[in-house]
Amino acid sequence: MTVWKEDAARDLVLNVGDRLALLTRGEGSHVWDGDDKRYLDFLAGIAVNSLGHAHPAFVEAVAKQAATLVHVSNYFATPPQLELAARLKRLAGAGIDGRVYFSNSGAEANEAAFKLARLHGAGLHGAPERPRILALENGFHGRTMGSLALTAKKAMRAPFEPMPGGVEHIPATIEALESAIDDRVAALIIEPIQGEAGVVELPEGYLSVARSLTLKHGALLIVDEIQTGAGRTGQWFGFNHEGITPDAITLAKGIGGGFPIGALVTFSAASSLFTPGSHGSTFGGNPLATAVANAVLTEIENAGLVENAAARGAQLREVITGIDSPLIDEVRGRGLLLGVGLTAPVAGEVVAAAQELGLIVNAANPYTVRIAPALTIGDAEIEEFQTLFTAALAHVQATVAASEEEKANA
């Protein structure tokens, strides 16, 4: 075992498996490990590094703000905080009545969303109580206790039960939603694309129906845009694809381009639910994080990276479907959040083979390879991906074929 692996095994909490490599630096869509081996990064920190690694806009924003003002308590406002709040409201279409709560991660943003739902259902000011919160099967919203209660992954939840109550998980179908929703529902929380489930899109028209039904029954529609936001799907947000207006969205990952930050953006009447003392975060909305997020979002907007995500996503989909491999079944997702569905449960093997060849992708589940590169990729990166991914698939297919032949001859 190498020294760094010994250090990791000894010193890091055992909440994940063995670390795959010791990465030491990055530039654009490439990273290097401690042995100076170069990798094409087509995971981008799981849809986080919107601008890739060491982008000048990111580096300049960190340096400039670090030399100006890093942290003050949330008793005070700062210029980058106010600028980012206004920017997120504008990009999301939250209007003059919208408001923004800043956190440090996506899980924390969903904790805030959970509390927003509870406030809406609390029966305040003579309103009827709404004790039910609906979330979707196979959904993922985080690992803190509140966000885990919203998450429908039994293996993740079981060691920590009992969960905070009131959450019901329903199948991700329009029929199930129509059957489950009533006037006792405080909120429905959904991902436009279920990333951790294997980049699974909701049924066509689901968001529109969800918006209609939640309005009819007086429930909040909360859209978890943590993985789909900041232009990743070829629109600024996943809900934009169906032209709806939700009551709240949660954000993180790509809005900071690698700097830890999350946000809850509320629309219309939902913006009045939080009152002084009802929620807070020591570091949430600090000037360093918000300055970096402003720089990242400015670059995404000015460089046309939302449009690039749409165009490069279509190009990448065409490249993948054009690979002559019996392991490829389908390609799911939108923009630069794609899931390659496999015909055999060998996603882990494909990811390992890809890494050995110098390509970083991720196994969302045994049948799905997740691809989420920086929004800045172009022809060169896609061509390199094609070469490496094709080779990884061929290696795994040869191994599968050899195994099947051995079984047949046994």
Q: Which member of 237, 253, 259, 385 is catalytic?
A: 253
On whether 227 is known to bind a ligand per the annotation, the reply is: yes
For residue 325, the 8-state DSSP code is -
- The reply, when asked if residue 107 is annotated as ligand binding, is yes
Domain boundaries, the chain: 3-55+304-409, 58-302
Residue 117 burial (C-beta neighbours within 10 Å; 0-12, 13-18, 19+): buried
Q: Check 224, 237, 239, 274 and give the catalytic one.
A: 224
Q: Give exposure, 2-40, as e/b (b: 16+ Cβ within 10 Å).
A: eeeeeeeeeeeeeeeeeeebebeebebbbbbbeeeeebb
- Identify the pLDDT of residue 80: 98
The fold of 58-302 is Aspartate Aminotransferase; domain 2 (3.40.640)
CA distance 81 to 286: 7
Which residues contact residue 304 at a Cβ distance below 8 angstroms, ignoring those fewer than 6 apart?
A: none
Model's pTM, two decimal places? 0.95
- From CA 222, how far away is CA 191, in angstroms rounded? 9
Tell me how far the alpha carbon of residue 254 is from its chain's centroid.
Answer: 8
282 is in an annotated binding site: yes
User: Is there a binding annotation on residue 178?
Assistant: no
Confidence at residue 1, expressed as pLDDT on a 0 to 100 scale? 56
- Residues with Cβ within 8 Å of 153's Cβ and at least 6 positions away in sequence, in order, are 138, 140, 196
**DSSP 3-state of 364:** strand
Structure confidence at residue 369 (pLDDT): 98
pLDDT reported for residue 115:
97
For residue 205, what pLDDT is reported?
A: 96
Instruction: Render each residue's pLDDT in the chain as its tens digit; 410 residues.
Output: 588 888 888 888 988 888 889 999 999 999 999 999 999 999 999 999 999 999 999 999 999 999 999 999 999 999 999 999 999 999 999 999 999 999 999 999 999 999 999 999 998 877 789 999 999 999 999 999 999 999 998 889 999 999 999 999 999 999 999 999 999 999 999 999 999 999 999 999 999 999 999 999 999 999 999 999 999 999 999 999 999 999 999 999 999 999 999 999 999 999 999 999 989 999 999 999 999 999 999 999 999 999 999 999 999 999 999 999 999 999 999 999 999 999 999 999 999 999 999 999 999 999 999 999 999 999 999 999 999 999 999 999 998 877 777 777 76
pLDDT at residue number 124: 80
* 170 neighbors 137 (Cβ within 8 angstroms): yes
Among this protein's residues, is 224 annotated catalytic? Answer: yes
Query: How many CB atoms are located within 10 Å of the residue 395 CB?
Result: 17
Query: Residue 40: beta bridge partners?
Result: 30, 359
Q: Are strands 248-251 and 262-266 parallel, antiparallel or unpaired?
A: antiparallel
- Residue 401: the pLDDT is 79
Q: 225 labelled as ligand-binding?
A: yes
Are 141 and 110 within 8 A, CB to CB? yes
Count of CB atoms situated within 10 Å of the CB of 310: 17
Taking domain 3-55+304-409, whether its CATH number is 3.10.150.10 is answered by: no
| DSSP tag of 28 | B
Contact 87, 93 (CB under 8 A): no
**Catalytic residue (one of 42, 58, 102, 140):** 140
DSSP 8-state assignment for residue 258 = T
What's the Rg (C-alpha) of the chain?
22
